[in-house]
Structure 1
């Protein structure tokens, strides 16, 4: 099994409505996002997927989140946790991979780091 990874960053604000503590207040993070693809075969050029296309797709998705208040995005329903952000990015990428000539079946996981030591992952089940 082969796997490959690209990453991108974005900055955004959020608060957690159902959390009791300092994260219920508006605050921001410099998020780091890792996009993982996985597959059993390589293309004729010996690659699982083109890094350039993966980066372009990921950058397009995170650019929509960059410098925003994540609570304003309806999919997060007032609680834009790292877990929900990871799922949102995963499903957004899954829908758009075809536009970049990428096989959606290769999409394996998305990791979202709120800090260098705190990360959530959404992966294909």
Structure 2
């Protein structure tokens, strides 16, 4: 038997820095990120959907808008984190991981989505994070 999923993407702009990176990404910089969310349910709802696309928008997309859009994502262990927080308290978001596309995708699937999507009985089974049109990372359950 096949599996049915539904997907929605959302775009945000934000900055980050990758601690320990060998190249340009060790510097403060930003991206126009695109997050692709793929959800799955045990069964389709009475209308024949995994979940209404607006539910993904109201939860995962809105989370990105409120928490990350036009902000700067920093690993809480980054030596520059506190200095930047002192300069712009509301504009710097500290996370418990180095903010690579891979770690952002994993964080959305494992930590953010379960609490947000539980009310709809669906699971985020895949998140793709595009940093550019040419570069992306995927995390799947």
TM-score range, shorter chain: 0.7 to 0.9
1:94 maps to 114
Unaligned runs of 5+ in 2: 75-92
| TM value normalised by structure 1 | 0.87
**Pair 1:118-2:135 in alignment:** yes
SS at 1:70 equivalent: strand
Equivalent position of 1:85 in the other structure:
104
How many pairs does the alignment contain? Answer: 119
1:82-118: CA deviation from partner (whole Å, max 9, x where unpaired): 01111222221111113xx3114x3211110000111
Q: Which residue of 2 aligns with 1:103?
A: 121
1:60 Cα deviation (Å)?
2.0
| TM-score normalised per structure 2 | 0.78
CA displacement 1:5-53 (0-9 Å, x = unmatched):
0111111111111111111111100000010012452111111111111
Segments of 5+ residues of structure 1 without an aligned counterpart are none
